[in-house]
Amino acid sequence: QFSHNTITKANQTKQIKEQEETEAKAIQIGSKDRSKKRVEASCFVSMEVGRKMANMLGTDHDLNFKETELCLGLPGGIAVVAAGNETESSSSPKTSGKRGFSETVDLKLNLQSKESTMDLNKNLDDNGSKEKSGSAKDPAKPPAKAQVVGWPPVRSYRKNIMANQKNSSEESGNSGAALVKVSMDGAPYLRKVDLKMYKSYQELSDALAKMFSSFTMGNYGPQGMIDFMNESKLMDLLNSSDYVPSYEDKDGDWMLVGDVPWQ
């Protein structure tokens, strides 16, 4: 019925102001009174989604506020919040009531079996699924809040970098390259290869051959220049029995290449 995306900034400001007002009222209310106050004064079930919706429902938009009763505390007489609050079905104390997401979610899950809370959860789920796709599938994950502009105050420069890092690590799998050291007997130094670059033993073999060709060809010059040479000679070499590719597995055993499938 509504979407955060369509709300203009002006409305947002207005909402925020409304929010402030209602929250201000909530704060000033003593704990005893809190339980008696209704939706308008203190309204949230879970973090921001609940609150924003409540505001919009209750004040700016003439939607079925009563029917959804979104802003009620968890009915059924369940103690929602920390000590000191009277629990009453229609209360949702504010100042001491801000639990972390997980706690709120747990409570929601508990309630799902209760008839009287159908509306509540149904609406949350509905709205949640409108907000983000994840919530309907995974009830343990709370619907993500709509993000406020410029909050938290982290520069977009930094945010972009972190996002890029996350993307590239997702793309390349776990922690980036699958690097292994390769050494050849008699070679003066090791090489490192990224196994993810290759799709088969043959490819790997060719690459290694290229890497170590200089030694076999006797082209290891005084400056240690690598000479990636003549492929046919390399292939001859590989196919001969002078050099056999083998590897040390995690148990420390030397295995011949090919015994175990590449995957």
Binding interface with other proteins (CB under 8 A) = 9-10, 12-14, 16-17, 20-21, 23-24, 27-28, 47-48, 81-82, 84, 95-98, 100-101, 142, 144-145, 147-159, 161-162, 165, 168, 175-177, 179, 181, 189-194, 197, 207, 210-211, 226, 228
Q: Which amino acid is at 97?
A: G
Give the nearest distance from C-beta 152 to other proteins in angstroms: 4
Closer to other proteins at the Cβ: 137 or 155?
A: 155
Q: Which amino acid is at 225?
A: M
Closer to other proteins at the Cβ: 122 or 196?
A: 196
Closer to other proteins at the Cβ: 110 or 168?
A: 168
Give the nearest distance from C-beta 116 to other proteins in angstroms: 26
Give the nearest distance from C-beta 6 to other proteins in angstroms: 14
Give the nearest distance from C-beta 153 to other proteins in angstroms: 5
Closer to other proteins at the Cβ: 192 or 233?
A: 192
The CA distance from 211 to 191, in Å, is: 8
Q: Which residues pair with 181 in a beta bridge?
A: 192
Q: Say if residues 236 and 217 touch (Cβ distance below 8 Å).
A: no
The CA distance from 102 to 81, in Å, is: 13
Report CA-CA distances (Å) from 218 to 73, 185, 224, 225, 259.
Answer: 81, 14, 11, 11, 30
Q: How many helices (H) and strands (E) does the chain have?
A: 10, 4
